[in-house]
């Protein structure tokens, strides 16, 4: 792994755990085991490192999700998205959605971090629509939108309140019912 990639990984972990604005360049260089001068050689600004971390997380998240649902039968893949979220929010390292957190700290729609987060959410919705279409669901786009919102709500609820078993079970049951019926009736 190159030093640049190592810095991005370190930044991703720190930003995710502490927040973007709460993580300073001093800490990034110290924990990345480089001088500030070296850090700035790879990333001319902290914001460039923020953008690289968001792009890395986008690739990681989509890869993890795809690997999770790929072994499932086509008909079960849409609900598999919610199962993926349920297993993720129960991990001890869960600190919410990196992209929701980014938008909270970079509220301006024209800010690069905000744009990257929005692009991630669009790609996720598109992937869910693909899963619903491949599963042969009637109204696939609508079911995908519902699954997306259920997943987003589940992520935020678990970040705020913790992964309560009834909440997780309700989300899984709802997703399974939606995908069997082709959406809420």
The pLDDT of residue 185 is above 80 = no
- Give the Cβ contact number of residue 156 at 10 Å: 14
DSSP classification of residue 24: -
Please tell me the predicted confidence (pLDDT) of residue 177: 79
State CA 90 to chain mean position distance: 14
pLDDT at 178: 64
Among 79-83, 141-145, 181-185, the minimum mean pLDDT is found in: 181-185
**pLDDT attached to residue 9:** 97
Name the band, by pLDDT with cuts 50, 70 and 90, for residue 13.
very high
Looking at residue 180, what is its pLDDT? 61
- Chain segment 20-66, per-residue pLDDT in tens: 999 999 999 999 999 999 999 999 999 999 999 999 999 999 999 99
pLDDT at 184: 44
Measured distance CA(100)–CA(84) in Å, rounded: 17
pLDDT band at 170 (very low <50, low <70, confident <90, very high): confident
Q: What is the pLDDT of residue 175?
A: 76
Q: What are the counts of helices (DSSP H) followed by strands (DSSP E) for the chain? A: 9, 0
- Residue 134 has a CB neighbour count (10 Å cut-off) of 13
Mean pLDDT within 95-115:
97
Task: Give the mean pLDDT of 78-101.
Answer: 95
| pLDDT, averaged across the chain | 93
pLDDT of residue 140: 94
Q: What is the mean pLDDT of residues 2-7?
A: 94
Domains and CATH numbers, the chain: 46-181 (1.10.357.10)
Instruction: Reply yes or no on whether the pLDDT at 181 is more than 80.
Output: no
């Amino acid at each position: 792994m190159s030093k640049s990639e190592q810095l991005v990984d370190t930044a991703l972990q720190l930003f995710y755990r502490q927040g973007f604005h709460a993580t300073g360049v001093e800490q990034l260089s110290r924990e990345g085991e480089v001088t500030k001068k070296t850090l700035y050689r790879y990333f001319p600004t902290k914001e460039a490192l923020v953008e690289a971390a968001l792009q890395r997380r986008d690739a990681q998240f989509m890869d993890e999700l795809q690997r999770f649902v790929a072994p499932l039968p086509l008909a079960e893949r849409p609900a598999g998205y919610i199962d993926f979220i349920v297993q993720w929010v129960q991990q001890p390292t869960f600190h919410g959605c990196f992209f929701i957190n980014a938008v909270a700290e970079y509220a301006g729609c024209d800010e690069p971090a905000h744009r990257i987060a929005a692009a991630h959410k669009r790609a996720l919705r598109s992937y869910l629509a693909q899963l619903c279409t491949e599963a042969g669901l009637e109204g696939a786009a609508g079911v995908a939108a519902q699954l997306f919102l259920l997943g987003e709500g589940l992520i935020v609820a678990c970040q705020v309140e913790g992964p309560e078993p009834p909440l997780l079970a309700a989300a899984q049951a709802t997703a399974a019912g939606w995908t069997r019926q082709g959406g809420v009736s």
